[in-house]
Structure 1
Amino acid sequence: MAVFNKASTQLSFKVLRLPRGPSLTFKVHQFTLARDVISSSKKQMFDVDYFKHPPLVIMNNFSGEGKHLKLMASTFQNMFPSINLAQVNIDTIRRCLLFSYNSETKLVDMRHYAVQVVPVGLKRAVQKIVSGNVPNLNKCEEVVDFIMKDGYTSEADADDDEQSHVVLPQTVKGKGNFENHKSSVKLHEIGPRLTMQLMKIEEGLLTGEVLYHDHVVKTEEEKEALRKLIEKKRKLKELRKKQQNENRERNLKLKKEQNREVRRKETEENASDADDDAQYYKDEVGEEPDEELFKLDNTASRKRPKLPAGMKHKNKKLKLNQKPLKKSKEK
């Protein structure tokens, strides 16, 4: 996770490795947005297809002394999917990301480029025809005149040096870029730009022991005291979490007992009502009622049974502070 934090005095850039850290904090000295970089370029090269594949990450000058350099380089590399150079399709490498470290100023420069491959050895006129651009032939009697007028210098030979010339091991998308043929690799900056300085490395996720600090240097005794303080805070946090879990379980258990007691009281009241109805039936009719007539049903609300003709249910007086029950339909 990458986080930018703008304070009143400075802009910071944090890189967090989820879920348990470490966390790297950088101070941003300079930055340029991608749109500003592209608009200032003489030859703008930008295509949405460039972002369909991960960039090639290049690390420069991160081999100095100090574990923080290795950790910083590993963090930058792991921010992007890894590329197997032995099996990669060269045509998918459309971007490269450069991280360069200056050991004197302790600054890290980040640059983002689009990669373009241009064939070498073609004349400018031939290259225009090969690339699909229709030339203006109004001043030429034949196509040969257009080809011969610019001489024999190719665009790649004129703009690039021999260090940018490579022999392609695979055929690359583009006119004239064939396997085992020489081509020139061009880089066009597409931004953004960042110039930053590593300030702090924390062991956890924005917390924990400080593994590196650019301004503060602590002795071993101070580091040991800080470790003990962090361990004490961790144990207190675990204790509070344990107490919260115990309180939650106790409240759930108490709630279940209360619900069970409420259901028991409702069952007793329903059983008492059934006994009263049975006794009333016996007094009025003069015989014992059937067992199924006043059978108690705990799964649904009990309905008063239908009595013989001429008999009515006994009206019961409501108790104090007791709401009247809704009349249920007779069967």
Structure 2
Amino acid sequence: MKHKKNKTKGIAVAEPEELKEAPHSFVIKRGKIGKLGRALMLDMRKVLEPYTASNLKIRKNNVVKDFVAVASIFHVTHLLCFTRTSKAMYLRFCKLPRGPTLVFKISKYSLSRDVISSLRKPVVLSKFHLNPPVLVMNGLADENDLKCKLMRTMFQNLFPSIDINTVKVSQLKRVVLINYRPDDGLLEFRHYAISLKPVGISKPIKKLVCGKKLPNLGKLLSVEDLFNRDLGLSESEGEGLDEVETERHVKLTENTNKRGNLANEKSAIRLTEVGPRMTLRLIKIEEGLMTGKILFKQSLKSDDNVESTDGQSNQDE
């Protein structure tokens, strides 16, 4: 006797409310921006994960209206658009669906691969982008300056806010630092990985607890030898600064998934830059979505080619 297979109907699962309310983004390019420009665009998508379309495909016949039309379906609130002229590369931050739009000239940039390759001990980024970054801003507190106020609002709304009452220490894996220099009008964009190292314990115990490999303890005659001998483990980069620089010390409120970092004990915060790195200059603020009344415009005396880490200009395709 043949039994009919029961076909299960697809059931729509409602998304959590905090997921809907979190800011989502599209990172796209318009026109030809070169291989280095495309790599920078993909790095920027990594920064904005997990609330961005990491594998978004862009066709030649797509226009900005196409992305705006589907933005509400996917709860997309911001659009980042890379463009390039014969002289420079630009990055637009747009608030959907009606603006405003902040246009930045990319004066200098470094790709993530170049930043990581310069480290003596590269950071492992396996589950690095599962949690959104912490946003830290500096130099944008002037309420009387319109451009500072709009930049601060745009960046604040680009990243999800953190509830200090519910957030877990293990979820804080990276930080985005935005530093505005009013003297020359440049804005520095940096991306760091966060790590914790226990402090206040002896060096042999720290190596034993935090080391990746268990040392050979067969030659030790007693527990006292553990404190008197060098266990032969490599010393991590910046370990001495963890003990000396007390301003980096924090008292943890919970245990973390990293060995040695326990609740009610002190640990040192360590930041490791992972890129991308950009130096931006605000040149225009438009009231609408890439159109409308111009609220701010910066006149540029020179419009040199954008500089990248490998010394090439953005003329390659």
Same fold (TM over 0.5): yes
Give the Cα–Cα distance (whole angstroms) in 1 for the partners of residues 249 and 239 of structure 2: 9
Q: CA RMSD in A?
A: 2.3
User: Tell me, what secondary structure is at the counterpart of 2:87?
Assistant: coil
- Alignment equivalent of 2:145, drawn from 58, 66, 84: 66
Matched residue, 1:145: 225
Residue 130 of structure 1: how far off its partner (Å)? 1.6
Structure 1 residues 167-197: Cα deviation after superposition (integer angstroms, max 9, x where no partner): 1122222112111111111111110000001
Residue 46 of structure 1: how far off its partner (Å)? 2.6
Structure 1 residues 225-273: Cα deviation after superposition (integer angstroms, max 9, x where no partner): xxxxxxxxxxxxxxxxxxxxxxxxxxxxxxxxxxxxxxxxxxxxxxxxx
User: Tell me, what secondary structure is at the counterpart of 1:71?
Assistant: helix
Matched residue, 1:19: 97
The gaps in structure 1 that reach 5 residues or longer are 217-331
Q: How many residue pairs get matched?
A: 214
Matched residue, 2:194: 115
Q: State the one-letter code of the partner of 1:19.
A: P
Residue 143 of structure 1: how far off its partner (Å)? 6.4
Question: Are 2:183 and 1:101 equivalent residues in the alignment?
Answer: no
With structure 1 as the length reference, what TM-score do the two structures score? Answer: 0.60
Give the Cα–Cα distance (whole angstroms) in 2 for the partners of residues 200 and 96 of structure 1: 27
Give the Cα–Cα distance (whole angstroms) in 2 for the partners of residues 104 and 62 of structure 1: 13
Residue 127 of structure 1: how far off its partner (Å)? 2.1
Q: State the one-letter code of the partner of 1:159.
A: L
Q: What does 1:218-257 correspond to in 2, within 5 Å?
A: none
User: Tell me, what secondary structure is at the counterpart of 1:158?
Assistant: helix
Matched residue, 1:159: 241
Question: Are 2:277 and 1:197 equivalent residues in the alignment?
Answer: no
User: Tell me, what secondary structure is at the counterpart of 1:50?
Assistant: coil
Which of the pair is proportionally richer in helix?
Answer: 1
User: Tell me, what secondary structure is at the counterpart of 1:72?
Assistant: helix
Q: State the one-letter code of the partner of 1:47.
A: L
Q: What does 1:13-92 correspond to in 2, within 5 Å?
A: 13-64=91-142, 65-92=144-171
- Alignment equivalent of 1:129, drawn from 208, 225, 240: 208
Give the Cα–Cα distance (whole angstroms) in 1 for the partners of residues 200 and 239 of structure 2: 7
Give the Cα–Cα distance (whole angstroms) in 2 for the partners of residues 173 and 11 of structure 1: 41
With structure 2 as the length reference, what TM-score do the two structures score? Answer: 0.63
Instruction: Tell whether the 8 Å contact from 1:14 to 1:25 is kept in structure 2 after alignment.
Output: yes
- List structure 1 runs of 4+ shifted beyond 4 angstroms: 136-144, 154-157
Give the Cα–Cα distance (whole angstroms) in 2 for the partners of residues 23 and 34 of structure 1: 26
Instruction: Tell whether the 8 Å contact from 1:28 to 1:194 is kept in structure 2 after alignment.
Output: yes
Q: State the one-letter code of the partner of 1:133.
A: K
Which of the pair is proportionally richer in strand?
Answer: 2
Q: State the one-letter code of the partner of 1:58.
A: V
Give the Cα–Cα distance (whole angstroms) in 1 for the partners of residues 186 and 117 of structure 2: 26
Residue 87 of structure 1: how far off its partner (Å)? 2.3
Q: State the one-letter code of the partner of 1:105.
A: D
Structure 1 residues 272-307: Cα deviation after superposition (integer angstroms, max 9, x where no partner): xxxxxxxxxxxxxxxxxxxxxxxxxxxxxxxxxxxx
Residue 203 of structure 1: how far off its partner (Å)? 0.6
User: Tell me, what secondary structure is at the counterpart of 2:127?
Assistant: helix
Residue 38 of structure 1: how far off its partner (Å)? 0.5
Change (3 A) 1:139 1:6: farther
Task: Give percent identity, aligned residues only.
Answer: 36
Give the Cα–Cα distance (whole angstroms) in 1 for the partners of residues 162 and 280 of structure 2: 26
Give the Cα–Cα distance (whole angstroms) in 2 for the partners of residues 163 and 71 of structure 1: 31
Residue 125 of structure 1: how far off its partner (Å)? 2.5
The gaps in structure 2 that reach 5 residues or longer are 1-78, 301-317
Q: State the one-letter code of the partner of 2:265.
A: H
Instruction: Tell whether the 8 Å contact from 1:121 to 1:157 is kept in structure 2 after alignment.
Output: no
Higher relative contact order (CA 8 A, sep 6+): 2
Give the Cα–Cα distance (whole angstroms) in 2 for the partners of residues 68 and 57 of structure 1: 19
User: Tell me, what secondary structure is at the counterpart of 1:48?
Assistant: coil
Residue 210 of structure 1: how far off its partner (Å)? 0.2
Residue 139 of structure 1: how far off its partner (Å)? 7.4
